[in-house]
Each structure stands twice: as C-alpha cells, then as structure tokens.
Structure 1
Amino acid sequence: MKRRAWKQWVAGIGAAGLLGACNSVPLHGNPVSSELRQAPADFFEVGWWTPLVEPTQWEYAPREFASPAVDPESGRVITLTRDGFVRSVAPGGKVEWAFKTGNRFNAGALVHEGIAYVPGGDGFLYALDVRKGELKWKYEAGESLATVPVLAGGRVLVASESDTVFAVERETGKWAWQYRRDPPSGFTIHGVSAPVVKDTTVYVGFADGYLVALDATGGTTKWEKSLAGGATEFLDVDTTPVVDDAGRVYAASYQGGLYALSADTGDVEWTTTVAGITSLLARGEVVFAAGEGRVDAYLGETGRMLWSHNLGERAGRTPVMARGLLLVPNQRALLFMDPKTGHSRLAWNPGEGISAAPTVQGSTAYVLSNNGYLYALRLHGGGG
C-alpha cells in the first residue's frame, strides 16, 4: 500500500468514527448502578443488559471466553457461558430458553439458517434450534472443542484443544473427516486456532508451529508451513488465520512472529519477529495484531509496522472493527481504540472485566462480561 493510499484509508476511518478524548470508565458491581447509566454518550449507550450466570461461592476472577452469536433473522443472541449453559436472549434482553451441557465453553456458537452450532467443552458439537432450543443432533468428538464452528459447503468444521479439526455433515451431524497433528514435546500456550474457509481451502494453525492448508472436501493437505522461526518452545500458531483480497493469508506463531504467506502456495512474503501475538484482524490493507501486552497495526503488503500500543501486563484479545473504532478486550476492560494511531479513547469495564470479543450487528455491539452479564451497546457514529 502506498503512503498516500494509507492516508486515504485512515482518513476514511477517522471520518466514520468518534474519536473523542481518552476516558477510563471503571464500572464495578451491580450494572444497574448510576455509573453504568452514565456511560460516555460520545461512544455508546447501554440499550439493555441481562444477567446470565449466577455467581458461585468462592469463585475467584471469573472469565467468559465465548463471544455472543446473533441470529440475523430473529435478532436473538445465543450465549455460551462458564456454567455450561447455552441461552437464547431476545432482542429486548429476556432469556427465552436455556440448554445445559457438560462443561464450560471456550468459544462462541455459529448461527446459520435458524440453527446454532455449539462447540462444547464437554466434547460434543451440538446443533440447536434457535427458536426453541431443541436439540437437532449432536456429534461426539471426544475432545474439548475450542473454536467457533465454520461452514464449508454442507459441513461444519470445528477444532479441539487436542489439535484436531473435525468436519461433520451440517444436516445430520455425521462424521465426514478429521485432521490431527501431534503436539510438540516442549511447552505450549493455551489457545486454539480456528479453521478459516476460503473457497475450497481450509486454513488452520497448530501447536507444533505449523500453518496448514487443507482441502475442504476431504481434509487432505494442500500445503503446510512452519512459522516457528527457529524457536523450540511456545511455537503455537493459535491465531485464527485471516485471508485478504490480495491472496495473502496471515498467521502468527507465539514465538516465531507474524507471517504473510501466499494463500495458494504457502510461500512466505514477509515476516516480523514480534512475539506473543494471539489474534489478528485484517481490514482493507491493514492487519491488526493483538497479544501479550500489545496491539499493533501493520501494512498487509509489506509488513511495515504502522503503530504499536502498549497494554502493560494485560493481553489484548480478538480485535473487532465497529463504527470507525477498533474494539479490543484485554480481560480488564473493553478498549475503544483509534485505528489510525493506536491511541485508546475509552476503557469500559462493567465489572470483572471483559475477555470475549464483542459481536457487532449493525449499530449494536453485544458484549459478554466476565461476570456473566450480556450487554447491548448502541454504538454512535458513522459506519465502521
């Protein structure tokens, strides 16, 4: 991307967003407090909120990692929480139904044509009717599932904590194929790369430091590439790969750094030595990378760093673009960042922090806080 083109891109983002003065809003405890109602109107207002999880005695530092999923037809929000329940929340905030599973969740659901595909921490992939919560089918993977499911033709793909990608038939839940890699002998990082489908290819990372391109039909390997960069421990490619319109796929090894590769061949186009990256977002010709203690922005064409924001001891999780701002959860709060400069404009903490990425539908961001409250934030400003 040329310098002028970069300036035009960020100018458009700036015009669309609301880049007010930097604010920090620590909102702890009961979300009906007056502090919550006084959330900064320049950025958002709380449309509604609802408690989902009953706190348990002696629970310390609760965490919710599953992003909400929204049914585009009905507006229902499907939430997966640490108590093992799947819930459907109506557009006004009322819980319509709940479905109990055998363990907590590590990732959110996929909603498609009225069916919620739920990756269970108990080793089952569930297909639930969004309207009534009735079970359509379930597939026993036998391994804790840890990624948001994706569709590849008539199949559902999901990855486990044990480095296995499962493909099952969308209509019946029957096994179609699976791909597994042996874990490395050294230390690894807790996290799992979700499969990403582009045309007939599935891209996914593994704990042994490899990014692999699979055929979506049968799960055979098209190419594989080590991103370890000579590291012997913490090789994990836990970032969910992103594919841009220029034919590049981006992924990062925890120790090996960020890579841009040809999506067709796996040939490396450029790489960085920045360690600790755990999640990525590509928007236009810019790649945003979040991880241990930082959020960065790079030019997708060359890998040149545009800016870096220091998070201190906090880890940036999956970034989301909304209304001209970059939304990044860092476990303690949800950061509203300027994508042009990386400056934090607002840190919003409704109590116990935010770990799961928000889900944006239109002008509403659905946020699941670590204490198990679901918020509908009405975002202000132009289109993101």
Structure 2
Amino acid sequence: MRLLKFSLFIFLVFLVACEKDKISEKQTDNQSNLSSPSLSDANSQQKPKNPNDWQMFMYDLAYKGISPDKVLKPPLKVAWKYKTGGAVNSSPVVYNNTVYVGSDDQRLYALNADKWGLKWTFDTGGKVTNAPTVYMGNVYFSSRDLKVYALDATTGTKKWEVQVDGWVNSPLVAFNNKIYVGCYENKIYIFNAMTGKKEGDERERINISGIEFACVKGEFYPIDAHNRASGWKNSVQRSESWPAIANGFAYIGSRDKRIYAFDTKTRRQVWFYETDGWIDSSPAIAGGKLFVGSRDGYVYAFENGNETQITKSSSEGIVTQDKTIVYKEPKRSSDTRLTIVNEGTILPILGKSTGSWYLDPSSSWFKVKLPNDQIGWIEAENFVRTKQNDELTINSSIVKNVTRLNLPNEAETISWSPNGLNMAYFANVTYSNIYWMAQSLWVASGEGKDQRWISDGAFFNPIITWSDNGEWLAFENLNKTERQIWVVKYIGSGLKKVAIGEAPSLSPKGDMIAFLRRDSKTTSVWIKDLDKNTERKIAEFRTKGQESYVAYGYNASLVPPAWSKDGLFLAIALDGYHYDDRYTRVVILKLTGEVVRELAVRAWKTRNISFSPDKKKIAYMTQEHSEKRADDLLDRQVHISTIDSEERRETFKHCQGLSWSPNGRYLAYVEDLDTMGFKRKVWVFDTGKWQKIQLVTSKMSIEKAVWTDNNAITVLAQATSQKSSEPSKKLAKINGWKLSISLP
C-alpha cells in the first residue's frame, strides 16, 4: 500500500511538471501575452465586480496579476505609508476603497486606500503572513495560529473561524460560495463561505472553475502560476514577490528592499523605490495606486509623480508602543478616540507638551499632526520627543549630549571598569568553528586611548569581570583542555594564574573570585581567597536533565556567578540541563552555600545575571525554549525581580545587554525590534516608578548599553561591513557613543 501511494505521488509530481513545461514552451516575452490572458468564461466570473478593485491575491483566479488600470504609470511617489506593529510579508488586496493586509504583529488591517488612515484591525493568535481575499462582502484570511477567519469587510466583525491541522503557506481561494485552504503538508480544505462549515477536503490537487490547483507543503497555487511569475522574479535579486501588471508595466518586490517597475515590452527597468526592509509582499493595483508591504513594518501606497524631498518638522517624536491611541483632545475617553498608531510611527509635534512628561506621564500629552493632516493628542508614556544624532535617534527630553567614542579598531567585546575610567577587551577574534574565540587581551582608557597589550591566549569566554575599584580584572583562558582562571591589574602588572575552573567573577573588593567547575554529572561553585591563596567548594548541583557536559564541548562558556554589592551573596545561572522539569534557574546563595532563593523560568539558558547595587533586585536574561524550539516569547527575555518577600516581576521580550545604574534605580537594556529598518532600541527601566522609558532607537545593531555613572550611558553597536575608503585604514568592529542623560 505504501509503495502504491508513493507511486501515485510521483506520478502526480511528474504530471504537474509536464504541464508546467508545456505552458513554459508556449510563453513568450511579448506584451500581448502579458496583458491579454486567455481566461475561461468560468474564470472571468472570479474577476472583481469593480475592475478597479484587487479583491484577491494576483487579481483573479488564474493568478495572472493583470489589472485593467490605465492610470498608474512610473515614475511613482509615496502617496502614504502606514506603520504596523510587525513586518508586512502579507500581500494587500483592495476592495471598496479599503486596503486589507496582514502583519507579523498578528493583526489584519483595514486601511483607507485614498489617504493615510485606519478603518479597523482584527487580532489573531499568530502572524498574518498571507494575502487575504474579499468575497461576497466578507474578508477571509489565515493566521499562524492555525485558524481561518471570516470577517465582515466593512466593520471587521467576526463571522466565523475554523481550526485547521497545519500551517497555511499561501492565500485562500474563494469561489462559488466556497473557501479553499491549502494546508501543510498537502491537504486542501473546503469550507462554506457563509457558515464556515467544512464541506470536504482533498489531497494534492483540485479543479476550481476549470483551473487546476496543486497543494505542496501548504503552498496552494494554480499549477502554472509559479512558472509564469518566474520570468519577472528572475529580473530582480532574490525575489519572493509576485508581479502585478498594469498599463504596460510590471511591478515586483525584491529582497534588496526595493519595489521595481519594468516596461513589459522591452523588459527594461524604468523605476524603483527603496524601503528599509525586504519586500516579499506582492503588490496590488487599484484606483490608480500601487499597494505593497515591506518587512520594515510599513504598508506603502504609491501614485503617479516624482518623489520629492520631504521637509522635516522642526520638532517631531516617535511612538514607543503598539496600539497607541490618538485622542481628539488631551483627555482619555472612548468619546475622544481618533485613531490608533503603532510603535515606530514618526509624527510632527505641535507646540509644547503639557504637564511633567516624566514625573506623571499618564497626565502629560503631546499634540501631534497625523499623516492625513488631522490634529491629535498622544499620552507621553507612549511617545517621546526625538532628535537625530549621528546614527542614533535619541529621546531629546532625556539625552542631553552624544559623544562618539574612538574605540580600538580590533576590540570586539568591551568591559568597562565600574568607575568607567578603563576598559578591557579581547581582540584577534576568529570564527574557525561554531565557537567564538579571541587570541589576545588588551586594556585601554575609558575613551579607548592608551591601548596596552596584556596577554595572548585562547579565550573562549568573552566575559571579563572587574573589582569595584577598577584595580583588578579576571578572565578565563583555555590551555589545551584545561580551563584556567587568571587575574591582572589594569596597568598590566600582576598577571597570574590563580585557579583551574571556569567563568570567574571577581568580588567587589577584589579579594575573592567565585568560579565554576563542571563534569558530566555536576556543576560546583567555588570561591578562591586571593589573599590566603585558598579555595573551597560552597555548593554542588547535579545534572538531572537530558543535556550533558559532553554536548557542550570544551569550547562552550559558562556564565560567571554574580556578586551582590556587599560581597555576601552570589547568583548562579543553572541551565535547563540541570533539571528534569524543563526550567532554568537563578539560584541565590550565601557564601556558606546556603540557598536563599530560586527563580525558575521556562527556558533553556540564563545569561547576564546582575544584582542591583542596593541588593534589592536582580536582573537576568533567558534564552531558548526548553524544548529546543525557537519561541518568540522565551528567546532573549529580560527578567527583573525584587528579592524581598513582596516579590514583583517584570519581563521584556527580545532583549539583551543588561546594566544597572550605580545608584541601583535604573536598568538599561537593549531590545531587538520585530521589523527591518530600525533594528534596536535602548530602554531604561525605572524600578522606583516601575515604568520603562525609551532612550535610543537605531538602525545599527546595538549590543549593549553600559552605565559609566548615574548620568552617563555608553551604547555599543556592531559596525557595518562597509569597506574603508582608505585601504590602509582599518575600520572599527564596534561603534560606541557616550550619552549624557538627565534622570531624577
């Protein structure tokens, strides 16, 4: 039976391939083939009733992608663009002056087609990556939550939803009161369009109004559609977009972040527009406009005309939270709601904000001008006044000055002394295998001057720890298979090996080192007394989970223990392989080995543990789902917990690079953004008011923000891969800026 099924599958694949080849042989590159498709009478019924609409993916059931529009003609200019809360991989459709499009922020949007404006949104439980389709007054679409939805196209009210068995990797098809859904791996569901009731299912292939569709790995398309689109896809770099054709021009997106226009007769490129993200979305053409999404999070609308230089407002700000409400007046009320905007939306500020934005942000407001020229008000807790400074977009209400640092060219990981006067860094980094490795250790002044070589070695652990007075630093070296712990003074003297072990951490006074030793069955915590030259084991934890020491290999690095400011407590990261419940733990110990507290999180790894200087709070980062699957909610989360009996916790997703202010009130951290364009944000979390404040947004890959004193933060970002205009001059691997800030 298995052999028979396999033989049938091979036959179907062969048949599809043959039909594609036949169609390919008949295709030519002339305009008549592209603009005058031969459609069956039944297929013509699936064209939009209003030819100016684009109600489904690629316009009609045959996926020809040809609009009768006679207005649109390059060059084009941006008519408007709307910022969603995630990357826009979905392709838009247009019906009755409304643009329907999904976003990775798990919402379907209904936007005004004529000018910037939101009509409604609908929330799902997963990313909305495929094009919706509008049929009989409803809009139908799928989500990564494994559901298919039907909404009223005018109001966004849900009509029905159904669960399917796997991912849907292509748009839905609506015809003859039925909704066809291609589902992973090769199943085709058929639902009643009005009720959502399942009317049947098929495998691999189905005929819809005389057009043969095939479903392979959840991709459900007419069998010749990919073949016809490939000619235009091959005209640009790495395109996942499909071409839309109108008025003698073909439009297609590319992963070089551009939307292109080609003359269909000459196949010559005549226009392009560059966004800040990949354009995997396929364009739609309706009402003399072209609509397309980008992974920078925007939905773009283009119209005829030349792009002109936009005059920037003298004062502008940026929205810091998704689903931020804009009000008609500075008053929080359902009656005064105007619209909703998302994180990253940049708006001109009119006049001055009211009240004290920081001390009481819920009663402070910004008066703004929306892209459709409406005037509105946004609460200051969701909006900050910004200014561009070098490659950073700063919160100008807090950041008073920005100084670019001249960091050593070879520095790849930098650790500042607690007083900010000196830095230590590894250089000569190689990536000869899957592990990071440096070959030399250096120190320099806090500004990167007076660089001094300290030692060569095999450094697999990038973490360097300092004593509180900035006098000593500790690091780890690998000598063949032996993990060694070394200390040295910042001036370069006193270099010596002090212990065999891993992940060293200097005590605040610099008189002790906490470190780890591990084997296939245990991880033990040790303390080395540098004055007495003695060491003792204070705790041991057995490996109970499935992971083993062998799986890590000799080159993987452990997380150093974190000291409390008074030197009386240690916090240890015990990854998920220590336990059989799929939780990782942060264990707080006294120096006697007594366990004071355990903080358990459902993740596989814990990183960047640090006590606040007042010892009342602890922050750490978690990585990796405990079942070894990527998970948006558990990968790189920042956790903040109070340690006293009245526990209070806060969690921020997609974050890294923790650093406490010297006074212990503020925690700085870096957020990875969900879209292309702006890549990272730096936030400051105020534990006194238990609120977060956006400090910096940047298109650079910011890795961490480090407090050097209560009024200064250093921001570090990976340098771009651009080559220097001077061949003899090496470009720095890390860019750095010192931010002078003003906080209560």
TM-score by length of 1: 0.59
Q: How does 1:5-84 map to 2 (within 5 A)?
A: 11=359, 20-21=384-385, 35-36=390-391, 40=394, 42=396, 43=399, 44-53=401-410, 64=412, 66-70=413-417, 72=419, 75-81=421-427, 82=429, 83-84=438-439
Which stretches in structure 2 are left out of the alignment for 5+ residues?
Answer: 1-355, 365-380, 430-437, 579-583, 627-632, 674-678, 720-731
The answer to whether the 8 Å contact 2:443/2:490 transfers is yes
1:382 aligns with 2:742: yes
Cα deviation per residue 1:201-252 (whole Å; 9 max; x = unaligned)? Answer: 3332312244444341xx4334564736xx6xx4545462647969676778
The answer to whether the 8 Å contact 1:196/1:204 transfers is no
- Other-structure match for 2:474: 118
Paired AA for residue 495 in structure 2: K
Once residues 222 and 104 of structure 1 are traced to their aligned partners in structure 2, the CA distance between those partners, rounded to angstroms, is 30
Once residues 149 and 242 of structure 1 are traced to their aligned partners in structure 2, the CA distance between those partners, rounded to angstroms, is 14
1:137 aligns with 2:492: no
The answer to whether the 8 Å contact 1:166/1:177 transfers is yes
Once residues 613 and 466 of structure 2 are traced to their aligned partners in structure 1, the CA distance between those partners, rounded to angstroms, is 22
- The verdict on how the C-alpha distance between 1:327 and 1:243 changes in structure 2, with shifts beyond 3 A counting, is closer
1:328 aligns with 2:328: no
Paired AA for residue 593 in structure 2: T
1:355 aligns with 2:703: yes
SS of the aligned residue for 1:120 comes to strand
- Other-structure match for 1:269: none
Cα deviation per residue 1:79-112 (whole Å; 9 max; x = unaligned)? Answer: 3454343222224432430222322433232134
Once residues 510 and 443 of structure 2 are traced to their aligned partners in structure 1, the CA distance between those partners, rounded to angstroms, is 26
- Other-structure match for 1:261: none
The answer to whether the 8 Å contact 2:417/2:470 transfers is no
SS of the aligned residue for 1:101 comes to strand
1:320 Cα shift?
4.4
Which stretches in structure 1 are left out of the alignment for 5+ residues?
Answer: 1-7, 26-34, 55-63, 258-273, 288-298
Cα deviation per residue 1:295-346 (whole Å; 9 max; x = unaligned)? Answer: xxxx9945476xx766xxx443425459998632347865233647546453
More contact order relative to length (CA 8 Å, sep ≥ 6): 1
- Other-structure match for 2:301: none
Paired AA for residue 165 in structure 1: V
- The verdict on how the C-alpha distance between 1:326 and 1:196 changes in structure 2, with shifts beyond 3 A counting, is closer
Cα deviation per residue 1:120-163 (whole Å; 9 max; x = unaligned)? Answer: 152322221212x12432224244x2x65334783122346874
The answer to whether the 8 Å contact 2:505/2:561 transfers is yes
Give the alignment's Cα RMSD to 1 decimal: 4.9
The answer to whether the 8 Å contact 2:712/2:741 transfers is no
The answer to whether the 8 Å contact 1:125/1:139 transfers is yes
Alignment: residue pair count: 308
Cα deviation per residue 1:149-206 (whole Å; 9 max; x = unaligned)? Answer: 3347831223468744331123476534353423343359986363333563333231
Once residues 652 and 569 of structure 2 are traced to their aligned partners in structure 1, the CA distance between those partners, rounded to angstroms, is 33
SS of the aligned residue for 1:181 comes to strand
Once residues 199 and 245 of structure 1 are traced to their aligned partners in structure 2, the CA distance between those partners, rounded to angstroms, is 12
1:116 Cα shift?
2.5
1:200 aligns with 2:200: no
The answer to whether the 8 Å contact 2:668/2:684 transfers is no
TM-score by length of 2: 0.34
1:105 aligns with 2:435: no
Once residues 562 and 464 of structure 2 are traced to their aligned partners in structure 1, the CA distance between those partners, rounded to angstroms, is 14
The answer to whether the 8 Å contact 2:716/2:737 transfers is no
- The verdict on how the C-alpha distance between 1:91 and 1:13 changes in structure 2, with shifts beyond 3 A counting, is farther
Structure index of larger Rg: 2
